Structure 1
Amino acid sequence: MTTDLFSHLNWLAVLAAAVAYFMLGAIWYSKALFATHWARAAGLKMDDPSKKGLGKMMLTSFILILLTCLGLALLVNRLDLFVWISGLKLGAVTGLLFACTAVAISFVYESRPTSIYFIDGGYHLAGHIAAAIILSCWR
């Protein structure tokens, strides 16, 4: 049963979706978009030269995004989605109902500024949409 679950997946599409989601983060959290506001709200200094552990954080983030894209690919395959609009709808649903709610649960306990939630939640919503579109179109 397990091999059946994964046998029909396009693994290259899963990887491409993960790379797109990850690269969206590079743009989303750049100075051109939300980096300055996010860092200020989080109490971080953008000019801090200490980047210790950044590589490990990036690798961990990519692996988690890859797992998210694997889950999305399973849904796309199971729901038999094959056009971009279906991917957009699936990404919006999973982004809002899974990713944004999971991020919100953490924020309830962390007492962080609401603006950080909207930046982080917006990123994951956009990431789910981008990944689901790629996975729907490239089967």
Structure 2
Amino acid sequence: MFNVVSNIHWLSVLAAFVAYYLLGALWYLVLFPQPYKVSLGKAHETLQNQSALFVVGPGVCVLVSVLATALLFQALHIASYGDALGLAVVVGVGYLVANTTNIAINPNIPQPFLYSAITSSYHLVGITLTCLLLAALR
């Protein structure tokens, strides 16, 4: 599986990383800031998310997801947009949505299904963008 590393188109990885990462800023700071705060039980608070951890950490996680998807993309010989969308659904629903929902179901998140809906949909859109960019720039 790892013999495909040399086949990865690194410009597509960079483009996918930037798109997915910036989508996060758009998602949480512009589109859904209040519902996200509600999901965390902090509707009337200012979130303490200004440190480097909350900027760099998600970027590192997105980069790992994009790299893993690029490896799968090459190993599975994805060659069409249809196959790219299929991979996005499998990875998005099978791993990202399932894992996000599992994380949300704990006593520290008062609105787990709202949190899951917001965060899972972000990851599903992000991985779909990733797969489409990997297909477009291969």
User: Which TM-score tier does this pair reach, normalised by the shorter chain?
Assistant: 0.7 to 0.9
Amino acid of the structure 2 residue aligned with 1:26 = A
* TM-score normalized with structure 2 length: 0.86
Aligned to 2:92: 95
Paired residue for 1:108, among 83, 105, 110? 105
Does 2:109 correspond to 1:135? no
Instruction: Tell me the number of residue pairs that the alignment of Structure 1 and Structure 2 aligns.
Output: 136
Aligned to 2:41: 43
* TM-score normalized with structure 1 length: 0.86
Deviation at 1:41, TM superposition (A): 2.4
Paired residue for 1:86, among 72, 83, 86? 83
Cα distance 1:110–1:127, how it changes in 2: closer, same or farther (>3 A)?
farther
Does 2:103 correspond to 1:74? no
Q: Deviations over 1:5-35 (max 9, x none)?
A: 311111121111111111111121133x211
Aligned to 1:8: 7
Deviation at 1:111, TM superposition (A): 5.3
Distance 1:106 1:20 in 2: 24
Deviation at 1:80, TM superposition (A): 1.3
Contact 1:88 1:132 in 2 (8 A): yes
Structure 1 stretches of 5 or more lacking a match?
A: none
Alignment RMSD, CA only? 2.1
